[in-house]
Structure 1
Amino acid sequence: MQSNTEPVAQIIAEISRTLGYQPEAIPLQINEKLASEVLGVKVSTLTNWRTTGRYNLPYIKVGRLVRYRVADLAAWLAKRRQGAES
């Protein structure tokens, strides 16, 4: 049986591959465009989710800049995983 951190670590590795980073060199935070690529949604969808509160996807806002922590994206995706465990 996997611990809760194993799926998150696996998802972080998948995110690093998707973005073209080595797993040990992935940035801590990414911008909206990269986050939208990771999640497979449009940037406008992320904006909609933030403003409506539709999903509790953590983000960091400094002025007009919006950033997503890779670890938060991985944890968010892990919580939404459906289906049988292998």
Structure 2
Amino acid sequence: MTVQSIGAQPGRTVPVLLTPEEVADMLRIPVRSLYVQRSAGRPTPPGVKIGRHLRYRLTDVEAWLDEQFGSAA
């Protein structure tokens, strides 16, 4: 995925926001597992509620994944 500039001011990029379904797909886990792990306080990518919708920044998910692989080594 790439950074999109839809609706952005010239020279400013807008972060790519992912849905829980997209994050689960990236992690190759069921969406339900993502929600269960998050509610149980287990490590998950940092997300934010926008209204009643949960969203993740692509850069945060990628950084979280790098951190998880770094701690496993």
TM-score normalized with structure 1 length? 0.62
- Alpha-carbon shift at residue 49 of structure 1 (Å): 1.5
Structure 1 consecutive aligned stretches of length 4 or more whose deviation exceeds 4 Å: none
Indicate the residue corresponding to 1:67 in structure 2. 55
**2:16 counterpart letter in structure 1:** L
Q: Distance in 1 between matches of 2:17 and 2:43?
A: 19
The answer to whether residue 26 in structure 2 is matched with residue 38 in structure 1 is yes
Does the aligned pair in 1 maintain the 2:48–2:56 contact within 8 Å? yes
Aligned equivalent of 1:48, options 25, 36, 44: 36
Identity across matched positions, percent: 30
Q: Distance in 1 between matches of 2:55 and 2:41?
A: 16
The alpha-carbon distance between structure 1 residues 65 and 42, as it changes in their structure 2 partners (threshold 3 A), is: same
Counterparts in 2 of 1:18-29, with a 5 A limit? 23-25=2-4, 28-29=16-17
Query: RMSD over aligned Cα, in angstroms?
Result: 2.0
- Alpha-carbon shift at residue 57 of structure 1 (Å): 2.2
Indicate the residue corresponding to 2:7 in structure 1. none
**2:51 counterpart letter in structure 1:** G
Name whichever structure is richer in helix by fraction.
1
Indicate the residue corresponding to 1:57 in structure 2. 45
Query: Higher relative contact order by CA 8 Å / sep ≥ 6: 1 or 2?
Result: 1
**2:50 counterpart letter in structure 1:** V
